[in-house]
Amino acid sequence: MTGPAARAFLGVEASATGRRWVGPSSEDDRLAEAMAQTTRLPLPLCRTLVRRGVAASDAELFLAPALRDLLPDPLGLKDMGIAADRLLQAVQRRQRIAIFADYDVDGGSSAALLICWLRALGREATLYIPDRIDEGYGPNVPAMQTLAAAHDLILCVDCGTLSHEPIAAAKGADVVVLDHHLGAETLPPALAVVNPNRQDEDGSLGHLCAASVVFLLLVEANRRLRSDGVQGPDLMAMLDLVALATVADVAPLLGVNRALVRQGLKVMARRERPGLVALADVARMNAAPNTYALGFLLGPRVNAGGRIGQADLGARLLATDDPREAAALAARLDELNTERREIEARVREEALAQAEARGLDGPLVWAAGEGWHPGVVGIVAARLKEATHRPAVVIGLEAGIGKGSGRSISGVDLGAAVHRVAHEGLLLKGGGHRMAAGLTVEESRLTDAMARLGELLAKQGAAAAGPADLRLDGLLAPAAATHAFVEQIEQAGPYGASAAAPRFAFADQRVTSRRIGDKHLRLSIGGAEGRLDAIAFGCFDGPLGPLLDNCGAQRFHLAGRLEIDTWGGSARVQLRLEDAARA
C-alpha cells in the first residue's frame, strides 16, 4: 500500500526537502520475491523490475532489449516514404542539400546524423542553425529564402512543424520537416512533415525526440538503397548521437527509447566519434558513459554554443571527423559552458526572488526580467520547477518583447497549454511538447498571457502539485552497498526520464561531512560494520547542506541513488544523496 493511508517509510512524513518517504508495497515485495524464484534473478534486481512494471515473464527480454525487435517500422509515420524518396533523389542527382536545425542538443544531433550519413555517401550539406537572440527558434523567412535560392532540398530538423510562413517563403526548393514538437490543426506547406506529434498521428511514437525521427528516416533510406543493391552507411555506429539527444531532450526512457540509449551508450564507449571523445575529455569523464554523463556533462556543453555563443558549434562538433577540429570546438564549448553557468546563477537568483514575491502556490510559477539572457531562461525555468514542484516559465524582456521558456512537471502538458494561449492571440508565438515549451510575448500582454496559461494548467491539476513523495526501493545497510550490488541493479537501466534509478534508504546513520566549495558536501556514513561514501551536490542551495554540515553526534535517515565513482582512477561505490531526515 503506497497511498496516503500507508505508513511513511521509516516514519518520515516530512523530510528535509519536505517529502514523504514511500517504500515498496507489500504487493511489490510479493511480486519481487515470486520473480526471483521463477527467474533466478537477484532479489534487488527483481524489486527494481517490479517497480518499473515488468512482469516475470518479460524480465529476460527487458534486461536484454533488442533494437531490431523494438524499432518501429519507419513507414508507420505519415510522410516518411515521401521524405525518404526525396532525400535519396537529392543524393542520387547530386542536388544541393541544406539542413536547418534547432540550436539545442536534439537539433545538433539530428543535423550531425544527416551530415555523417550524407558524408558516407560522398555528399555534403550546408548546415544552418539560427542565432537564438537575433533569429529565435525555428525557420524564419529571410533564412529560408536565402537557403532556397542556393539549394534544391531543405531539411528542417527539430523544428518547422509550426513554420507556415517561412516554409512557404522557400520558393524553388523542396522542404522536408523532421520534428517531434506538437503540431497544429494545419501543417506547413512542406513536401513532407514527418512528426509523431502531428495531430493526425496516433501518438504511439510521441515519445521520440527529433534525432530518433531522423534515425528512422535513415533506416528507411538505407532499406531503399539495399533494395537497389547499394549498401547504405552504418547506422548502428550513429546511435551515440541518438542516445545523446534522447537523454538531453529528457525523452522518456521507455520502449524503443530505452533500447536506443542502451545501444548508443555502448557505441559511445568505443570512443570513435572525435567530437564526443573531445567533449568527454574536456568534461573530465573518466568512466564509461552513462545517462548522467549525457544529461549533465556532455549535453550542457553541446548546448552552450546555442545558448550564449555561436549557434552551430555543437552540431559542428558532433559532425566533425577531424580530431584537431573537435578538440578546438570542445574547448570553446567548455569555456562557453562556464560562462553560461555564471549568467544562469545571476538570473536564477533574481527569478526566484520575483517568483517568491508573486507567490509559489499557484498552478504556474513565472518570472520575467529586462535583459535576462534568452540562452539561460530555459535552465532557470527548470530550476524553478524543481524548487517549487510547479510548471515554471522564465522570460527575458528586451524592447517590449519577451522571449521565454517553460518546463513542466509530470502529468501536466505545458506544450499544449502554451499552444492554446498562442492560438488565442495572447502570445505572438508558442509551442513545444509535454515537458518543455517556448514562447514569445508582447510585454504589454505578459500578465494576461501568464494568467491564462495558469488557468489552463490549473485545469490539468498543476495547482494541486506539491513536493512529490520520495519513492524508495528498499532499506540497505552501508555494508550491503557493494560493487556487485550496483552492477545487479544497473542491468535494469539505463535510467532517466520516466525510468527513475532505484533509490535506497539507510536508516539511523551517523554522518561525518566535509564541505566542498560553496555548495557541495562529501559525506561518510556507517560505522565499524561498514562505511559508505556519499556526495550531496548543490545541497547548500536547499535545506540538505545546512542540516548535514557539522552535524556532530546526530543521527539521520538518508536516501539516494547508488553509483560507481571512478574519480582518481579507482572504482568505488558511493551514494548520491537526495534527501535526509533526523532519525
pLDDT band per the 50, 70, 90 thresholds, residue 466: low
Contact partners, residue 524, CB within 8 Å, separation at least 6: 511, 512, 513, 531, 532, 533, 534
Half-sphere exposure of 579 (CA within 13 A, CB side): 23
Q: Which residues pair with 561 in a beta bridge?
A: 576
Q: Which uninterrupted H or E stretch holds 546? A: helix 544-548
| Identical fold, 9-23+472-582 and 359-464 | no
Give the mean pLDDT of 206-228.
Answer: 97
pLDDT band per the 50, 70, 90 thresholds, residue 4: very low
Query: Taking the CB of residue 223, how many other CB atoms lie within 10 A of it?
Result: 14
On the question of pLDDT at 500 being above 60, the answer is yes
Specify the length of the chain in residues.
583
Nearest CA to 562 out of 457, 459, 474, 452 is that of 474
Nearest CA to 124 out of 97, 106, 104 is that of 97
State whether the Cα torsion 275-297-299-64 is positive or negative.
positive
Q: What is the pLDDT of residue 467?
A: 63
Q: What is the pLDDT of residue 378?
A: 94
pLDDT digits (tens, 9 = 90+) for 16-45: 988 899 999 999 999 999 999 999 998 889
Q: Which uninterrupted H or E stretch holds 535? A: strand 530-536
Which residue has 509550426 as its cell numbers? Answer: 162
Q: What is the pLDDT of residue 465?
A: 62
> Which one is the CATH code of 74-334: 3.90.1640.30, 3.50.50.60, 3.40.50.2300, 1.10.600.10?
3.90.1640.30
Q: Within the chain, how many helices (H) and strands (E) appear? A: 21, 17
Sheet architecture: strand order including 392-398: 365-370, 392-398, 401-407, 436-442, 429-432
DSSP letter, residue 6: S
Grid coordinates representing 298? Answer: 556532455
On the question of pLDDT at 3 being above 60, the answer is no
Q: How far apart are CA 523 and CA 533, in angstroms?
A: 6
Q: What is the pLDDT of residue 469?
A: 84
CA distances from 525 to 477, 530, 557 (A): 10, 9, 10
Contact predicate 127/73, CB 8 Å: no
Classified as helix, coil or strand, 41 is coil
Most confident listed range (6-20, 45-59, 91-105, 481-495): 91-105
On the question of pLDDT at 102 being above 60, the answer is yes
DSSP letter, residue 440: E
Q: How far apart are CA 2 and CA 22, in angstroms?
A: 6
Q: How far apart are CA 433 and CA 203, in angstroms?
A: 12
DSSP 277-306: HHHHHHTT--S---HHIIIIIIHHHHHHHH
pLDDT band per the 50, 70, 90 thresholds, residue 566: confident
DSSP letter, residue 177: E
pLDDT digits (tens, 9 = 90+) for 299-324: 999 999 999 889 999 999 999 999 99
Give the mean pLDDT of 554-582.
Answer: 90
Q: How far apart are CA 478 and CA 573, in angstroms?
A: 10
pLDDT digits (tens, 9 = 90+) for 539-548: 988 899 999 9
Nearest CA to 245 out of 104, 441, 343, 346 is that of 104
Q: What is the pLDDT of residue 519?
A: 87
Question: Which CATH code fits 359-464?
Answer: 3.10.310.30
The conformational region for residue 108 under phi > 0 = left, psi -120 to 50 = alpha, else beta, is: alpha
Q: How far apart are CA 534 and CA 572, in angstroms?
A: 11
Nearest CA to 406 out of 398, 422, 212, 193 is that of 422
Pairing of strands 174-178, 365-370: unpaired
State whether the Cα torsion 573-243-320-127 is positive or negative.
negative
Topology, domain 9-23+472-582: OB fold (Dihydrolipoamide Acetyltransferase, E2P) (2.40.50)
- Provide the angle, in degrees to the nearest 10, between the axes of the packed helices 299-308 and 274-282: 90
DSSP letter, residue 501: P
pLDDT digits (tens, 9 = 90+) for 116-146: 999 999 999 999 999 988 898 899 999 999 9
Q: Give how far the C-alpha of residue 361 lies from the chain's centroid of Cα atoms, to the nearest Å.
A: 26
Grid coordinates representing 276? Answer: 564526443
Q: Give how far the C-alpha of residue 525 lies from the chain's centroid of Cα atoms, to the nearest Å.
A: 32
Classified as helix, coil or strand, 109 is helix
- Provide the angle, in degrees to the nearest 10, between the axes of the packed helices 43-51 and 26-39: 120
Q: How far apart are CA 45 and CA 47, in angstroms?
A: 5
pLDDT band per the 50, 70, 90 thresholds, residue 7: confident
- Provide the angle, in degrees to the nearest 10, between the axes of the packed helices 210-227 and 80-92: 60
Q: What is the pLDDT of residue 440?
A: 95
DSSP letter, residue 496: B
Give the mean pLDDT of 476-480.
Answer: 93
Give the mean pLDDT of 187-210.
Answer: 97
Q: b/e for 350-372, b at 16 or more Cβ within 10 A?
A: ebbebbeeeeeebbbbbbbbeeb
CA distances from 491 to 48, 61, 63, 262, 286 (A): 10, 12, 6, 10, 21
On the question of pLDDT at 384 being above 90, the answer is yes
Q: Write down the domain spans for the chain.
A: 9-23+472-582, 25-64, 74-334, 359-464
The radius of gyration of the chain from alpha carbons, rounded to an integer in Å, stands at 24
Q: How far apart are CA 399 and CA 182, in angstroms?
A: 29
Contact predicate 47/35, CB 8 Å: no
Q: How far apart are CA 498 and CA 291, in angstroms?
A: 13
Q: Give how far the C-alpha of residue 569 lies from the chain's centroid of Cα atoms, to the nearest Å.
A: 28
Grid coordinates representing 46? Answer: 527483481
CA distances from 475 to 47, 291, 523, 561 (A): 12, 24, 19, 12
Q: What is the pLDDT of residue 385?
A: 93
Q: What is the pLDDT of residue 408?
A: 94
Q: Which residues pair with 499 in a beta bridge?
A: 496
Please give the backbone phi and psi of residue 228, each rounded to the nearest 5 degrees, phi first: -95, 10
